[in-house]
A and B are shown apart, each in its own frame.
Chain A
Amino acid sequence: MATTAPSATCALLSGDEAIARGAFEAGVRVATAYPGTPSTQILEAIIEESRSRGVEESKRPSDSSPIASSPLRLHAEWSPNEKVALEVGVGASLAGARALVSMKHVGLNVASDPLMTASYVGVRGGLVIVTADDPGMFSSQNEQDNRHYAPFAKVPMLEPADSQEAKDFTIAAFELSERFDTPVLLRITTRIAHSNSLVQLGERTEHEPSGFVCEPAKTVMVPGNARRRHELVEARTIALAKYAESSPLNRIEKGDPLIGVICSGVVYQYVKEARPKASFLKLGMTWPLPEKLIRRFAKSVEKLYVVEELDPYLEEQVRGMGIALAHKPTAPRTGELSPNAVARFLGSRKKPGRAPAQGLPPRPPALCPGCGHRALLTAVKRLKLFVSGDIGCYTLGVQPPLQTMDTCICMGASVSVAHGVEKATGRSDNMVAVIGDSTFVHSGITPLIDIVYNKGTSTVIILDNETTAMTGHQEHPATGKTAGREPTTRLSLEDLCRAIGVPHVSVVDPYDLKKTRELIKAAVDRDEPSVIIARRRCVLLDRDRLRHPYRVEAERCAGCGQCLSHGCPAIADVTPKGERKKQVRILPQLCASCGVCAAICPSNAIVATGVAGNE
């Protein structure tokens, strides 16, 4: 949450909030995103900004007036996926509006198709694309270094080192975008996105969209046009490299001439912490690189280091210039850096700190008590099926004791991977694909079409919790609400699946364990594709639901421990040491009264207390 300092022009903002603020001040007209940690709060903060400043949100097309006289000032949307988000941004830019598109690092893979050609097309209104990388994988499936996208797509890249820079660089990115006719990448990492520091606030400057102009040579990428645009792109990179030499985004901080460090982003802060007196070449623009500036800096110091997180992106380019570095190419390539890791890399002689306490049980994240995903996965587990998994809270089902997830690659892959397994093995009666509602809309629809089209027989279970839960409960097309929580046309998942041609579509409440199991069993045994929509609202959105905590009747309990097999945090194993017969207790303050444990218990020893009470 943004907090405000006594001075009204200063606020303690996260990097995400600062980017939103920068875009707002830069007069952004269209902001699009798909939620993904650590980028989610950017669009959320833009929605907040527009609300608190009384900017009118866009109206639905059906009730808005023609574009020329429309009251649109700022439109913020959750797009179904990052590819769509970027394409909407491209459209807005070509209509002369400033547009901000934000996503997590893997989202840019999804959006890479429009990115590569948007680079050729260029912009009319500034187009800024935020990629939020996740070194250390706090909430991601890989830790790819998206700095490589800048030279790959031939677009400039800026990397802020704190929240003030996050705001300033966002504004600078819009200006660069328009000046050099190019989309601009703004690359941040988790520690920039989710660290707060003070930011000077400014006023919003409106940028009136010019409207769409017909100019096929620029905007229709058929080979003849694209060949000419590619030449312009190469010339643009040369012009940008020249700009980088004198850009205020890059700066030399003269310090101790014995040690010089080239760095960018949050790593600059770690090096400042470890070696405040060193000389610095702090790069705010990390593509294209200012070669002359780097050479000048290298000459001015005795020992030159490049300190960076993940890939040797800067290091390889500096070495490629024939500049000698004081270190071997051995910096850590995995995980995130820290002030301590940087101090070690720079040869700190400070004594290493104390070792962490040994023998502590880990505390991994877990599905919440009463989570519909747990109920569904419990039903799947009891059928002993191969589970083709996907990205969302339910991925936590891979952990013991549930252990009900066999693959997880990327958004939407559960459906297509299941199809691949079926085509390779010739059977689909031993497996299901599980995918969340938001993830299904993101990229599960096309592979479902593939199953139907190519005569597959797989079973797809859509875990519909009516929200995008893992990233903090964002709306999506199937919730029937916009990013700003206004009602809109709701995408019906069941109608969609039927329209695709899936012959068997059913909806079930996963709390009803028996019915859920029967439906899944029938579906996997069928020689036709099936979709089961397991619909149960996320418990975190359902806190006002009346609860009747369950309890264990000790005299009926056989001590089998089955109720512990689905990993509910509300069920505590209180078996005394040495005792073989399990003893359990249900913690009333955690119990969400879903009743799944009662359905599992073979001795009917778990009963509702009948004592209703909200938390």
Chain B
Amino acid sequence: MSRACPERSRKVTNIAIAGVGGQGIVLASDVVAEAALCAGHQVKKNEVHGMAQRGGSVVSEIRFGDRIYSPLIPDGDVDVLVGLELLEALRHAHRLRPDGLIIADELRLQPAVRPPGAPEYPPDIVDRLRASAERVVIVPAAELAAEAGNARAANTVLIGVLSQHLDLPREAWHTALRSCLRPSLVEVNLKAFELGQRHV
């Protein structure tokens, strides 16, 4: 089921998770970091707190492998960009490696605040996103999450899709989900993860 990293010989895998404050980005990055840790990798993770979280653009980064220095991924080195929202995915698409992969939720969220003169939400967002990387997977994450039993587990669906593209054992993902989530939410999220992992 699981496929190899984009380039297995490289020593560090770089994942960026972008979205809107409140979508569960920190939780998603906790799960990825924990799974990499369970698989025996060195891990660094970086996230944003405070004012930026109030409905603003948020990005979280996870790096794992043998030896990692910077907690920030250098531009042009992102292996997989996970977008919890289309516009936020496009905002970070330029940071991908030339052969990098985008996994994005099909969700479109208008910015809560529109300063005067600010551009409109791009109507051709899907086309632009598809043009921004060689490999782009767009996922109906809310639909799959609802099928799992909770529409708010869209972030976990996307982590499930991500797991197809990383060389981490299935057990590591399950352990990670169990340790990062409240016990009452574990079942629904395991299901959401499975639906993501099976998504073609």
Contacts and interface: CB of A to CB of B under 8 A. Distances in A.
Interface of A: 1, 3-6, 12, 37-38, 40-41, 138-139, 162, 191, 194-198, 266, 269-270, 272-274, 276, 338-340, 343, 353-357, 359-368, 393, 396, 399-401, 470-472, 567, 569, 572
Contact of B70 (A273, A364, A367, A472): A273
20 contacts: A1-B180, A6-B38, A12-B34, A38-B50, A138-B50, A139-B52, A191-B71, A194-B48, A194-B49, A195-B44, A196-B71, A269-B70, A353-B94, A357-B94, A360-B91, A361-B118, A363-B87, A399-B113, A400-B114, A567-B113
A360 B105 CA distance: 18
Given A138-B52, A363-B20, A569-B55, A273 B46 contact: no
Contacts of A270: 69-70, 72
Chain B, interface size category, equals 35 or more
B56 interface: yes
Nearest to B51: A139
Nearest to B45: A196
A339 B38 CA distance: 27
Nearest to B40: A6
B71 to A, nearest CB: 4
Nearest to A393: B54
A366 B69 contact: no
A418 to B, nearest CB: 23
A276 B74 CA distance: 14
A457 B45 CA distance: 51
Given A139-B49, A393-B54, A400-B113, A269 B71 contact: yes
Contacts of A5: 37-38
A139 B120 CA distance: 26
A470 B55 CA distance: 12
Interface string B24-57: 0000001001100110001111111111111111
Contacts of B44: 162, 195-197
A196 B90 contact: no
A400 B115 contact: yes
B183 interface: no
A203 to B, nearest CB: 22
Interface string B114-146: 111011111000001000100000000000000
Contacts of A3: 30, 33-34, 37, 179-180
B6 interface: no
Given A191-B71, A353-B76, A355-B94, A12 B37 contact: yes
A366 B46 contact: no
Contacts of A356: 91, 94
Contact of B90 (A12, A273, A360): A360
A96 to B, nearest CB: 35
Given A1-B30, A197-B44, A338-B74, A360 B112 contact: no
B21 interface: yes
Contacts of A363: 20, 55-57, 87-88, 111-112
Contacts of A338: 72, 74-75
Interface in B71-127: 71-76, 87-88, 90-91, 93-95, 110-116, 118-122
A273 B46 CA distance: 16
Nearest to B94: A354
A98 B47 CA distance: 31
A598 to B, nearest CB: 19
Nearest to B73: A339
Contact of A266 (B71, B115, B132, B180): B71
A4 B128 CA distance: 40
Given A6-B38, A12-B34, A12-B37, A362 B118 contact: yes
Nearest to A40: B49
Given A364-B56, A569-B112, A198 B51 contact: no
Contacts of B33: 3, 12, 196
Given A194-B49, A353-B75, A339 B118 contact: no
Nearest to B55: A366
B169 to A, nearest CB: 12
Nearest to A268: B69
B12 to A, nearest CB: 10
B54 to A, nearest CB: 4
A438 to B, nearest CB: 14
Contacts of B46: 191, 194-196
A357 B90 contact: yes
Given A274-B74, A365-B51, A400-B114, 4 more contacts: A191-B71, A360-B91, A366-B54, A366-B113
Contacts of B87: 360-361, 363
- List of 5 A-B pairs having minimum Cβ-Cβ separation, nearest first: A139-B50, A37-B50, A569-B112, A365-B56, A195-B71
Nearest to A36: B50
B96 to A, nearest CB: 8
Nearest to B39: A6
Contacts of A37: 49-51
A40 B38 CA distance: 28
